[in-house]
Structure 1
């Protein structure tokens, strides 16, 4: 990153953003697939409530989501106190908390992308596999999941991109601690508050644009490759 003229502090913010975004995406993925499958393939009382809860982070102000996370996962919160006492896991004011906040804020996008892809899968294919003796779990793993792969890839890219740009929930839950919780958006915000910080903010903005464009191009190429493979199969 020396050719971009990034300072060590700015490079730290870039690396931390990538770390937070990758972990937010990877940890959210199995839960997103599970929830998407339930919403796409199951009918049960309270389905609308679950759907509303999943999409709530898209509607609430990010600061509200961050405050709720602080109340729940903070050291004095019910979940946070339990995790620290029994597992030694701390989220508040740590990079892990930033990943948690980013994952929750991006979760609706992940679920929606995967759900739409699952709903496009012909249920008759799943029924045919079931008639051949495959159990529900095996049908899901061998039929539903492979056919949903383009939606999963799209959901992962959306989650990663949303995590890279998350600001409100992150700064409310884990603050803006250089080297620990200061991601690209919070670093840009900090630079804009100090005299002469505009050039640094512009450098980080260009890095953000480059990472976002790279992710989108990679996702398009990967989606084409997956579709080509499915057509050949």
Structure 2
């Protein structure tokens, strides 16, 4: 184990980090717009957003391969316009991680914004605050506990993504070999010691993320209860 290559760990962190930033920005933006508005097809749109959460990873990977493959709609467009191929690149790892982790961020953000007190926002509007200012000074702080939960869960999900990544990005050492893929191919090659090492790492990271989130949530609830009691 002295010659172990830690590149899968760094690649997993980089992938999960970039994917989490993307899903946080898009999830918060879409949840903010959709949660407060009613329109035809809203239920269908939200079902589409949540679909990767219930589909087998191989189905998600097949769909992404269908879109971004050389003969896919987006894949052909990128190849013709920019001479850029997504499949079997680090960008494919990012795309897979974004797609499978987005539902967790969107769900958390949507629930957080729906539970915001609209009276506080209306009060800020009557005082002359712009929509942008109301969002950053009222809506966002009120929703932050739920947004943070979505952030942590999305990061953990992106960190553990396997099926869609394997189908879209493949296993290329130093390029697409994330920890979940390293575990699978270590087992395939009979290197159980290496597989056990990576399993311990990924379990420890996932456990730490969930444990910290639970601890922070309980701590936040205790502070809120104490504040309400003093009032």
TM-score band by shorter chain is 0.7 to 0.9
> Cα distance, 1:90 vs. partner?
3.9
Asked if structure 2 preserves the Cα contact closer than 8 Å seen for 1:6 and 1:203, the reply is no
Whether 1:198 and 2:192 are equivalent positions in the alignment is yes
Match of 2:94 in 1: 99
1:6 to partner: Cα distance: 6.0
Query: Does residue 153 in structure 1 map to residue 148 in structure 2?
Result: yes
What residue is the counterpart of 1:73 in the other structure? 68
- Which of 77, 82, 101 in structure 1 is aligned with 2:77? 82
2:178 matched to 1:214? Answer: no
* CA root-mean-square deviation: 2.3
| Aligned pairs, number | 225
User: What TM-score does the superposition give when structure 2 sets the normalisation length?
Assistant: 0.88
Q: Distance in 2 between matches of 1:6 and 1:77?
A: 43
Q: Which moved more, 1:146-155 or 1:84-93?
A: 84-93
Q: Structure 1: which 5+ residue stretches go unaligned? A: none
Partner of 1:127 in structure 2?
122
Residue of structure 1 aligned with 2:134, choices 131, 134, 139? 139
For residue 14 of structure 1, what is the aligned residue in structure 2? 9
Distance 2:116 2:148 in 1: 16
1:53 equivalent among 27, 30, 48? 48
Distance in 2, Cα, partners of 1:56 & 1:29? 18
| Alignment gaps of 5+ in structure 2 | none
Equivalent residue number for residue 104 of structure 2: 109
The 1:218/1:129 distance shift into structure 2, 3 A limit, reads same
Pairwise CA distance, 1:126:
0.9
Contact residue 153 and residue 223 of structure 1 kept, 8 A: no
Partners of 1:122 and 1:213 in 2: CA distance: 33
With over 3 angstroms needed to count, the CA separation of the structure-2 counterparts of 1:88 and 1:124, relative to structure 1, is farther
SS of the equivalent of 1:166 reads coil
**C-alpha distance in 1 between matches for 2:205 and 2:3:** 18
Superposed CA offset, 1:139-188 (max 9, x none) = 22221111111111111110111111111111011111111111111110
Q: Distance in 1 between matches of 2:18 and 2:76?
A: 22
1:134 offset after TM fit, Å? 1.9
Of 135-144 and 171-180, the range deviating more from structure 2: 135-144
Q: Is the 8 A contact 1:25 1:103 kept in 2?
A: yes
Inter-partner Cα distance in structure 2 for 1:166 and 1:223 = 25
Ranges of 4+ aligned residues in structure 1 off by more than 6 Å: 224-227
Separation (CA, whole Å) in 2 of partners of 1:6 and 1:148: 46
